[in-house]
Structure 1
Amino acid sequence: MSRRADIAVIACGAIAQPAAAIVARRGWPVDVHPLPPLLHNQPQLIAGEVRALAARLRPAYERVVVGYADCGTYGALDAVCADEGLERLPGLHCYDLYAGPSRVERLFADQPGTYLLTDFLVRSFARTVLQELGLDRHPDLRDTYFGHYTRAVWLAQHPDDPELRALAHQAATQLGLPLTVLATGDSGLERALADVVGPDSP
């Protein structure tokens, strides 16, 4: 494999597109390599997939970094990062990268039954939620999965996009939940990427 950039970012598929857009805008010497976003439905597999992809990418790049938060691996991803000498994005999950951990904590403190959406989840809701949970085939299971939730909060990277806004309302309606829109933008993700990409990046 010929080197296309100095740094490879192994990215969660759910943040790969905005991460790549940030990289392009900032002109960083970085290639973004996404893993499948549906790994989030099987977080026990994330650490192993990151380890395997890092081994494949390392010969072609000066550095490999991990574009994941912990993402439900309960420390397994940190163990891989320690073993392989990799740095990852901060936080427990991608929601921290968009809204900030303190704001996410407040959302759950105010209403523990908060279901969080991102732009990616809004766009892919039919596939990543309805289909994966079987709700497209068995809508009667909605209360089994979501009966304890009290609201949906869209952490909106692009709150003024009319298509996304319509999809967010549709997702909340399908869950039977009221929707709150919290504009976050991508600045938190951008700062986190800048930290792991390194101080020499512009």
Structure 2
Amino acid sequence: MIACGAIAQPVASIVARRGWPVDVHPLPPLLHNRPDRIADEVRRLAVELSAAYSRVVIGYADCGTYGALDEVCRELGVRRLPGLHCYDVYAGESRLERFFDEQPGTYLLTDFLARSFARTVLQELGLDRHPELRDTYFGQYTRMVWLAQQPDDELRALAEQAAASIGLPLTVVETGDRGLERALGDLVCET
């Protein structure tokens, strides 16, 4: 399985717990800051892995590729995770629609993003050096929703820091990994 680096650790944990004969090959999570590169990186690794494996699957949703990843999947005859992004897999598409219907300015956070927010968002967007850009990037957001897979006090503190760093109130929604586990099961247990 080629996995997005942002979900590779929970994917590997689920694979191990379920005893699936799957090797997880992560791509860098920072590709999400350049989603135009995801499809090419997935293609490159899928072609490489196809020499060593009888089957390759893609542990990515669309992730901002606007269909480019689906083209790679069709071209190579492989399948990917469902949905527009991992948030769909964690929370469910209908729940996310409700969040955005209730409050269109919702910024979503996962456990991975809570842990890495200072690096993957603040530093990558230059907000650590230019805090005046906060409104340019986040001025239209009205809240942050943490889709908590494995919540604990440390992660809660990190999620609160992430929300505070961009001036948003935090809402916590415990999702667990059930949605991800179901989606992975559909992907890897196909007959």
TM-score (norm: length of structure 2) = 0.99
| Aligned AA (1:100) | G
1-structure distance, mates of 2:41, 2:132: 34
Match of 1:180 among 142, 148, 171: 171
| Aligned AA (1:167) | L
1:1-202 superposed matches below 5 A: 9-159=1-151, 161-199=152-190
2-structure distance, mates of 1:147, 1:74: 24
Give per-residue Cα distances to partners, 1:112-168, cap 9 Å, x unaligned: 000000000000001100000000001111111111110000000012x11000000
2-structure distance, mates of 1:179, 1:64: 38
Task: Kindly tell me the number of residue pairs found equivalent between the two proteins.
Answer: 191
Give per-residue Cα distances to partners, 1:40-70, cap 9 Å, x unaligned: 0100100000000001101111100000000
Task: Name the Cα RMSD after superposition.
Answer: 0.7
Structure 1 unmatched ranges of 5 or more: 1-8
Structure 2 unmatched ranges of 5 or more: none
Pairwise CA distance, 1:199: 4.1
| Aligned AA (1:166) | A
Q: Secondary structure at the match of 2:56?
A: strand
Structure with a larger share of its residues in strand: 1
2-structure distance, mates of 1:54, 1:199: 18
| Aligned AA (1:112) | P
Percent identity between the aligned chains? 77
Return structure 1 stretches of 4+ with deviation > 6 angstroms: none
TM-score (norm: length of structure 1) = 0.93
